[in-house]
Amino acid sequence: MSDAAIALRDITFTWPGQKTPTLALDRFEVQAREQVFVSGPSGSGKSTLLALIGGISSAQAGSVAILGQALEALPASRRDRFRVDHIGFIFQQFNLIPYLSILDNVVLPCRFSALRRERALAQGSDLRTAAESLLRSLDLTPDLWTRAATQLSIGQQQRVAAARALIGRPEIVVADEPTSALDSDRQQAFLNLIRHECEQAGASLVFVSHDQRLAERFDRRIALNDINRCAQEEPA
């Protein structure tokens, strides 16, 4: 078995109702602490790949092993728990809970995962302190912390989503086009923050984007169409 943080093997994934697979991957691996940039045009399957890594979707064939655990061996409820325990997700639309304060949004994973709660408490005297420390390091000032998520700018919401993904030090952070709503300077600044925080936490980072300008700072760059056999089979 691979000791990679993420190891996908011989994957075929077809969305319900589709005639052809979206993804056919022989091998996709990310090592512990590695920071990987995954690019591909719209519709190439980047979000689908992240859904497989998170166990949100399951492939019809092949294996997805996260930290050595084969997700297909777990029943759905255990997969959900495993995801919250070990993976921090930053979604394209951030998925913050609009009626909760910023602080409550950030501590949310610790409400669902005893492991994340334990690790967060090891970082701060209580969950609030741990959340505040992350918010500070992501340049979110105390005047914002008690506001509802909807009262923040897009750039601020994005950093809240990053703090929520990072709290309780998950071993893996995945980010799905988190910078698409930002201008170029802010994209770079956000990328620096998230990369720094993952480094500090010792987390692997899978950062998905169609924007090649963000690629250069990563340990490794993967063009999804180069490894996806379905994409290669399409006519040019």
Ligand X SMILES: Nc1ncnc2c1ncn2[C@@H]1O[C@H](COP(=O)(O)OP(=O)(O)OP(=O)(O)O)[C@@H](O)[C@H]1O
Length of the chain equals: 236
Q: How far apart are CA 7 and CA 53, in angstroms?
A: 9
Q: Are 129 and 168 in contact (CB under 8 A)?
A: no
Nearer CB in complex with ligand X: 146/212? 212
Q: Which residues here bind ligand X, judged by CB under 6 A? A: 15, 18, 22, 40, 42-48, 210
Work out how close the CB of 150 gets to ligand X at its nearest, in angstroms, rounded to a whole number. Answer: 23
Residue type, 87: I
Work out how close the CB of 60 gets to ligand X at its nearest, in angstroms, rounded to a whole number. Answer: 14
Nearer CB in complex with ligand X: 43/202? 43
Work out how close the CB of 13 gets to ligand X at its nearest, in angstroms, rounded to a whole number. Answer: 9
Name the token pair of 145: 């912390």
Work out how close the CB of 17 gets to ligand X at its nearest, in angstroms, rounded to a whole number. Answer: 6
List the alpha helices (DSSP H) in the chain.
46-53, 76-86, 102-112, 114-123, 127-137, 154-166, 184-201, 224-227, 229-233
Q: How far apart are CA 149 and CA 103, in angstroms?
A: 9
Nearer CB in complex with ligand X: 196/213? 213
Work out how close the CB of 44 gets to ligand X at its nearest, in angstroms, rounded to a whole number. Answer: 4
Nearer CB in complex with ligand X: 87/134? 87
Cα-based angle 40, 46, 48 (whole degrees, multiple of 5): 150
Name the token pair of 230: 């379905």
Nearer CB in complex with ligand X: 40/168? 40
